[in-house]
């Protein structure tokens, strides 16, 4: 059997969602601070308690609600990576984080 005919092992995940309303300064437009609604979806191994995971996600983003994101996490990609690390800090092993700005059609994903 060749490598491209091999099946990947099945993986079941649990996703939790939260909304972040925050402003940011785009990296290539200094001084141009503007707000966005960011949808964050964090993915974990199936079987974990979804309500506890959602509380951890909300806790990880609560300090940014209504504020300006620090420049270090002002893009979808960097925000996704940061949130993934924060969820590990709260005791959950996060597999992936999606950061979506649906209105603009912009999506980012971080995966472990």
Picking from 83, 72, 73, the residue whose alpha carbon sits closest to that of residue 110 is: 83
| pTM (predicted TM-score) | 0.85
Contact 42, 94 (CB under 8 A): yes
Report how far residue 108's alpha carbon sits from residue 83's, in angstroms, rounded to the nearest whole number. Answer: 12
In this prediction, residue 85 has a pLDDT band, given cuts at 50, 70 and 90, of very high
- Identify the pLDDT of residue 83: 96
Residue 58's contacts (CB-CB under 8 Å, 6 or more residues apart) are: 18
Q: What is the β-pairing status of strands 34-45 and 106-111?
A: unpaired
Convert the pLDDT of each residue in 22-53 to its tens digit.
998 877 766 688 899 999 999 998 877 899 99
Looking at the predicted structure, is the pLDDT value of residue 20 above 80?
yes
Radius of gyration in angstroms for the set of CA atoms belonging to the chain, rounded to a whole number: 16
Domains of the chain, start order: 11-111 (3.30.479.10)
């Amino acid at each position: 059997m060749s490598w491209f005919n091999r099946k990947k092992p099945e993986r079941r995940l649990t996703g939790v969602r939260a909304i972040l309303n925050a402003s940011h300064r785009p990296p290539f437009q200094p001084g141009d601070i503007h707000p966005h609604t960011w949808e964050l979806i964090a993915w974990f191994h199936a079987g974990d308690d979804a309500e506890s995971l959602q509380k951890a996600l909300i806790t990880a983003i609560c300090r940014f609600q209504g504020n300006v994101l620090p420049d270090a996490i002002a893009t979808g990609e960097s925000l996704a990576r940061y949130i993934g690390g924060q969820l590990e800090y709260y005791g959950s092993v996060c597999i992936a984080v999606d950061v979506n700005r649906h209105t603009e059609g912009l999506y980012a994903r971080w995966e472990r």
